[in-house]
Structure 1
Amino acid sequence: MTNKRRLAVGAVAASAALVLAGCANGGNSASDSQTVTLRLWDENAAAVYKTIAEEFEAQNSGIDVEVETVPWADYFSGLRQEVAAGQGPDIFWLNGANFAAYVDAGQVAPVKDVIGEDAAARFVPAVVDQYSSKGELYGIPQIFDGGIGLFYNADLLKEAGVDPAELQNLKWSATGGEDTLLPLLQKLTKDSAGRNALDPEFDANNVVQYGFNSAWDIQAILLPFIGSNGGTFQNGEQFTFSTPETEAAFKYIVDLVDTYHVAPPAADTNNNGDFSRDAFLQGRMALFQSGTYNLTNVNDSVSFEWGIAPLPAGDAGAVTVAPGVSALINAASANDEAVKAFAKYLSTAAGNRPFGEAGVAFPAVSEAGDAFQSFWSAAGVDISALVVGADQTVIEPVTGTKFNEAAEVFMPIMREMFLGQRPVSEAVAEADRVANEVVNG
């Protein structure tokens, strides 16, 4: 059981992001063929789009599709400037946190004229909801992450005398209720002398194996813990960090780092979102809470036996999150027939199924959804813990036209909280205040 998430197709250097001025108009080549540009941040998905583009081009002579990848760290800043200037790629990926700002600015086009009035019915409803505004669908849903689960290192569990079956019904509590998660994480955390975190002599300053990846990770850690304690991250666009349920969830998450030392220190994770993943891949972390987006990373990289268990349940049960990604049509390219043709193809099962067939992500076209599970089943990997069931509670992903602006002011506070430099109650109250001042400003 194993996987990784990065291949290279048409990579675009961040420093060159602003020289793509002609892309939004589907420029012509010397042979009079039309070029449609598609930009995204994920190299594995870019490889899939290359396959999709080849099939589309075979059916549509005279149209060439150019796939561009820009690294996540540089993606949104360059894209925002280009699209605001009426330039940039014809079609581009967006996530939920950035979607609303482009809609409000009139920089992306509704898709009903491209894929039909009732075409939204062919997509996974949760992703349609995420990319709809005032009754209009603005994105062509492409993939969704499925749920979050507990990736586990079976070898480390065996060394600690833990049967993987013990992971099936883990519980945690921020209110003093039943908690089987914390003692398990303590048992799975070791110092350089081989003592686990339950040992009175445990040396928290010399940890060589962590039990868990508690850290500032909105999708994999914060939202599931907050939801399973009955809290919310936002109410509409308003931030709700300081509500009692959410504050208590933050306290539990931070204590795993700073009080119990069963997760890496925030000095390692605050500014390195890959630290915990890499520690798990290297065999230095027993449990890694993550989603389908890390399936390939684990499968292609590890040398140990592994599996995926369900999320731990809080006082409000187990709550997952399943955000999606959509392809948005640049308003500056919306009337280009070649762009419309490719965008429509992306909304079909044929134009979406390759994501599942490559094992990259759940396709957002419902008809193509079984391809992803079939891929991993054939690879001998049981992903049932990541499949969002109809009866499963799902917390909404982050959203808002000013989410990124708000994050710039609340993130320094939250980083200090994870470092143990601010009490949780003080930090969440201040983060709420400054973030909502941005939202309401």
Structure 2
Amino acid sequence: MKTSTRVVLAVGIAMVLLVAAVLWLGRGGDGSGRTVIGLRIWDEKFVPVYRASLEEFQRANPDVEVRITVVPWSSYQQKLRLDVAGGTADDLFWTTLYEDYADAGRLIDVGAALGPDAAAAWDPSAVAQYTRNGTLWAVPQFVDGGTAVYYNRDLLAAAHIDPAELNAVQWSPGGDDTFRLLLRRLAAVAPWSYNAGHDFQSIELPYLGSAGAQFQDDRDHFVFDSPQGIAAFDYLIRLIADRLAPAPADTNTNPDFAKNAFLQGKLALLQSGTFTLAQIAQQARFGWGVALLPHGPSGRVSTNNAVGVAANAATRHSDAVQRVLAWLGSGSGNRYLAGDGATIPAVVSEQQAYRDYWARKGVDVSPFFDVLRGPRIPSGGGPGFPAALRAIDPIFAEMYAGRIPVPEALSRARAAAEAAVAQN
């Protein structure tokens, strides 16, 4: 065979293989003819819930298969950023910090994909969280509700404290207050009274809000070093210094330390959200309940964060992605998230199922909802927000450890956050 003939034949074979590969990738790559859609989440316990929901979807859409990938929270944000930049991200992925991707044109416009009426079914606070410059960038999946205080009934009884007292305590900057006095009573019967520490959503935001401060203003500028912000953090630091809370050497390096201490019966009060509820119900070997947040100078203030599913603008399967998004945002698809009490569905019509589930278990979840009747503090966002949090983290860790005074630490952290945003 002549060399020229071999070359032509080789080119022809290569073209056939290339076309076959394109067709193969276009239909999902599993050999079944189905379009395969990837969904990335960060919490393993949601896999069975999503699988149950998606099995129903796939019965009505046999040409689409959704495969779930779990990337642990500790590496989720960094890996997602790299994968989005490298074009290897899943078709759909959980998000809370979406602004950088939206601004860079990396996400599908959900309003355009599902129509302007779709958002009417979802929790308004979740819709607001995922709306930027008038465009909706994610389908809300679940909301956390407000922050509340889990309490150990046995430890309260040992300290002669009626659980009803928790709903009346107040904290105030400087001097003793009813909350601090209650914590001192608990310190006599438990290694630690309360989980004051470096916990952004469950501790820092509520204290900032109830002190009359903010983490960011309306223009996404960091303002947590205001006089009210200094008062909030100073209060937390003094609780730690008085040994009413675990040492920062433990909590700074292990974000689950306080939760585990509560489950072990070593911590009397755990301030946290609904995302902790199922684990406490399954693992606590003592009587427990839920109370309202401590009342601060500006009342009880919580955030109400939501997790949404964003769609990768680089997907090769836009029609299938649109169908999956519509299902996950529907009452039929979203109600599975309330089935085992794991979380509060973002579809408003399905939220009562969450309350009913815990009512059957004898758990009153009203403190998580009642606190939201008052003012709320935004959980923050904007371009470069993840980088800002990474810049703040080591400075806050030093502040909680008592190695940097609160005013200086907050000033340095604000400057570091601003620099990270500018660099981003």
State the TM-score, normalizing by the size of structure 2.
0.91
1:245 to 228, 236, 243: 228
- Output one character per residue of 1:263-317: Cα deviation in whole Å (capped at 9) or x when no partner: 0010000121000000000000000000100001100001100000000010101
Counterpart of 1:184 in structure 2 is: 182
Instruction: Identify if the C-alpha distance between structure 1 residues 319 and 25 changes in structure 2 by more than 3 Å, giving closer, same or farther.
Output: farther
CA 1:233–1:61 in structure 2 vs 1: closer, same or farther (change >3 Å)? Answer: same
Partner of 1:193: none
What is the 5 A alignment of 1:99-118?
99-118=98-117
SS of equivalent to 1:394: coil
Q: Distance in 2 between matches of 1:388 and 1:147?
A: 8
Equivalent position of 1:303 in the other structure: 285
* CA distances 1:384-437 after superposition (whole Å, capped 9, x unpaired): 111156632111012122122222322221111100111111111111122222
- Structure 1 gaps, min length 5: 1-21, 191-195, 197-207
- For 2:287 and 2:255, the matched residues in 1 are separated by 24
Max Rg structure: 2
SS in 1 for 2:333: coil
Aligned counterpart, 2:61: 60
Q: Please show how residues 6-405 of structure 1 align to structure 2 within 5 Å.
A: 27-95=28-96, 98-176=97-175, 179-190=177-188, 209-235=191-217, 236-258=219-241, 260-333=242-315, 336-388=318-370, 391-405=373-387
Unaligned runs of 5+ in 2: 1-22
Deviations 1:22-81 (A, max 9, x none): 999672321211111111001222221011111101111121111111111121222211
Q: Matches of 1:394 and 1:111 in 2, distance apart? A: 26
Paired with 1:153 and 1:169, the residues of 2 have a C-alpha distance of 17
8 Å CA contact 1:237–1:439 kept in 2: the answer is no
> What letter is aligned with 1:151?
Y
Report SS of the residue matched to 1:319. coil
Which amino acid in 2 is paired with 1:50?
Answer: R
Note if contact 2:194-2:245 (Cα within 8 Å) is conserved in structure 1. Answer: yes
**Take 1:361 and 1:302, find their aligned partners in 2: how far apart are those partners?**
18
Q: Distance in 1 between matches of 2:247 and 2:414?
A: 24
- Per the TM alignment, residue 358 of structure 1 is displaced from its structure 2 partner at its CA by 1.9
Task: Output the CA distance in 1 between the equivalents of 2:93 and 2:149.
Answer: 31
Mapped to 1, the partners of 2:211 and 2:24 lie a distance apart of 46
CA distance in 1: counterparts of 2:407 and 2:399, whole angstroms? 9
- Alignment of 1:432 onto 2:414: yes
How far residue 318 of structure 1 moved from its aligned partner, in angstroms, is 0.6
Which range is displaced more, 406-415 or 383-392? 383-392
Distance in 1 (CA, whole Å) between partners of 2:152 and 2:32 is 54
TM-score by length of 1: 0.87
Encode CA deviations 1:293-349: one digit per residue, 9 max, x unaligned: 000110000110000000001010111111000000011127521111111111100
Change (3 A) 1:88 1:24: farther
Distance 1:26 1:112, change over 3 A: farther
- Higher share in helix: 2
Percentage of identical aligned residues: 38
Deviation for aligned residue 1:188:
0.8
Letter of the 2:103 counterpart? D
Which moved further from structure 2: 23-32 or 247-256? 23-32
Compare 352-361 and 25-34 and name the one that shifted more.
Answer: 25-34
Check whether the contact 1:410–1:431 (CA below 8 A) recurs between aligned residues.
yes
Q: How far apart, CA to CA, are the structure 1 residues paired with 2:386 and 2:325?
A: 27
> In the aligned structure 1, how far is the partner of 2:206 from the partner of 2:316?
37
Q: Which moved more, 1:330-339 or 1:124-133?
A: 330-339
> Counterpart amino acid of 2:36?
T
Q: Partners in 1 of 2:225 and 2:27 — Cα distance?
A: 48
Q: How many residues matched? A: 400
Give the aligned residue type for 1:94: T
Comparing 105-114 with 323-332, greater Cα deviation is found at 105-114
Question: In 2, Cα distance between the equivalents of 1:55 and 1:117?
Answer: 25
